[in-house]
């Protein structure tokens, strides 16, 4: 299947992880605070470094500061597999279905070094 792996930011409701798991057990989904991921309250720049090092797309609700952090990250010649911002007007199910669709047909290069707001399936 897809080469995309998702890291759920700590501001994403934990129930969202379960909604994604119901769609596919094959998806690589981790959440901040789990073993092997950045601990809770890790600053965003360090999370971006972790995502780059481990090749995970960050899934977040952080619309305010994440664009600034990404610009700073890229300015230092770093890269990131991508950042996906959940749609606040959608249900868990709608957001999960969109991430599943991205995972199924997505190409990691489509979102590399970018912030994309859901839905991105309408971009194609």
Q: Which residues of the chain have pLDDT under 50?
A: 1, 124
Specify burial of residue 66 (Cβ count, 10 A radius: 0-12, 13-18, 19+).
buried
Quote the crossing angle between the two packed helices 66-75 and 44-54, to the nearest 10°: 60
Residue length of the chain:
124
Domain 5-123, CATH 3.40.50 — does that match?
Answer: yes
Question: What is the per-residue pLDDT across 19-51, written as a single tens digit (0 to 9) for each?
Answer: 999 999 999 999 999 999 999 999 999 999 999
**What pLDDT sits at residue 105?**
84
**What pLDDT sits at residue 10?**
94
**What pLDDT sits at residue 23?**
93
Q: Where are the domains of the chain?
A: 5-123
Q: Report the relative pairing of strands 83-85 and 115-117 from DSSP bridges.
A: parallel
E strands within the chain?
A: 5-8, 28-31, 57-60, 83-85, 115-117
**What pLDDT sits at residue 107?**
74
Q: In what order do the strands lie in the sheet containing 57-60? A: 28-31, 5-8, 57-60, 83-85, 115-117
**What pLDDT sits at residue 2?**
54
**What pLDDT sits at residue 24?**
92
């Amino acid at each position: 299947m897809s080469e995309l792996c998702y890291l759920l930011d700590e501001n994403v409701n934990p129930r969202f992880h379960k909604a994604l798991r119901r769609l596919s057990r094959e998806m690589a989904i981790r959440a901040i605070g789990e073993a092997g991921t950045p601990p809770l309250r890790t600053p965003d720049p360090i999370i971006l470094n972790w995502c780059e090092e481990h090749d995970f797309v960050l899934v977040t609700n952080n619309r305010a500061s994440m664009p600034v952090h990404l610009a700073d990250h890229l300015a230092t010649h770093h890269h990131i597999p991508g950042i996906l911002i959940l749609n606040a007007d959608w249900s868990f199910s709608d957001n999960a279905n969109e991430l599943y669709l991205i995972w199924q047909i997505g190409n990691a290069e489509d979102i590399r070094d970018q912030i994309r707001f859901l839905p991105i399936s309408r971009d194609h």
